[in-house]
Amino acid sequence: MNKLLSIVFGLLLLAVLLLFSMTYTVSFHEVAIKTTFGRTGEDSVVTDPGLKFKLPIFADKITKYDTRLQLLETPEMQIQTADDLQLVVRAYMLWKINTETDQGPLQFFNNYSTIADAGESLEDLFRSEVKNSTSRFSFDDLLGVDSKLSEAEENIRIAMLPVQDKGVLPVTIGISRVLLPAKTTTAVMGRMSETRRGLSEAERTRGNAEAVSIESDAKAKKEKILAFANLRAADIRRAGNAQAARYLEMMGEEPDLAIFLTWLDALELSLSQNTTVVLPTTVEPFHLMDLDAPLDMGFIPQPDEDLNKLQHDPANQSQEEES
């Protein structure tokens, strides 16, 4: 009885081991390559996830690869740009097994044993292409205002496309870091200083030219305004002279009245401010303030004729000058 149980248990264990050797699972992020006695065929690539069956023991061998993105990054490399300047560059590449074609995983299986082996193999090629592609650009193309860094990255990606024949698909390639060595920094600063100096001189020249233009325009406008103002003043002066001529003609008809009005204007002007006047009231036009001044024609006050004659006598004036 015990012997029979042992036989049954052994058969069950053998069946479990046999069943285990005839199944395998593929995860959603994996691809499996099935070889039968070391050979591959049309159904060797298995991409559908789930439980799969295979021939037992060593008849079928299953090799599984991770299909997720893999990161490949170069160390910092010193390159020489097209204008003979030195740069330190670090680049990266995101790649994966090419599952976009039916033969991609099989090509990868035929060229690489593991993902790590593929990464080591791709590193040297990637580093070489980074140096070759970036060295075709000048310093300003890589770091200037109109940077062509994206163009350099695209050139690297195109240069890496032949690895698709080995089942590798480059997805994203970028330059993650660009540094300046000390020697390059000095040269770049010197060149930037010269550039800034040239820009400042150009701006100064443009500003001076603009200032001359503004001054010339202002001068022309000034002369135009002055000419218009002089012309307008001449018109006003002619109109004033024409009106004055009428009044002078009217005043010529009554000269005494005109003289009286002139005296009034002179008196008003002389006393318009806080003024202290020490003059005899017999002198025109201050005789108007003398209420006892003689009247001419019965209503216009007249100055003292004797004093006026004495003041206007040339002989008297010459004696005063001699004294």
pLDDT digits (tens, 9 = 90+) for 262-271: 877 777 777 7
Residue numbers in the chain where pLDDT is lower than 50: 316-323
Question: What does the pLDDT read at residue 320?
Answer: 45
- The C-alpha angle with vertex 111 and arms to 110 and 114, in degrees rounded to 5, equals 95
Question: What does the pLDDT read at residue 45?
Answer: 86
* Separation of alpha carbons 15 and 19, rounded Å: 6
Q: Cα–Cα distances in Å, from 97 out to 18, 75, 107, 117?
A: 32, 23, 9, 13
Furthest-apart CA atoms within the chain: distance in Å: 182
Whether the predicted model's global pTM rises above the 0.85 cut = no
- For residue 285, say if its preceding peptide bond is cis, omega within 30 degrees of 0: yes
* Separation of alpha carbons 35 and 43, rounded Å: 9
Q: Where are the domains of the chain?
A: 18-66, 70-180, 268-314
* Separation of alpha carbons 290 and 70, rounded Å: 122
Q: Which CATH superfamily is domain 70-180 in?
A: Band 7 domain (3.30.479.30)
Question: What does the pLDDT read at residue 230?
Answer: 92
pLDDT digits (tens, 9 = 90+) for 86-116: 888 999 999 999 988 888 999 999 999 899 9
Question: What does the pLDDT read at residue 308?
Answer: 55
- Write out the two tokens for 259: 């003289």
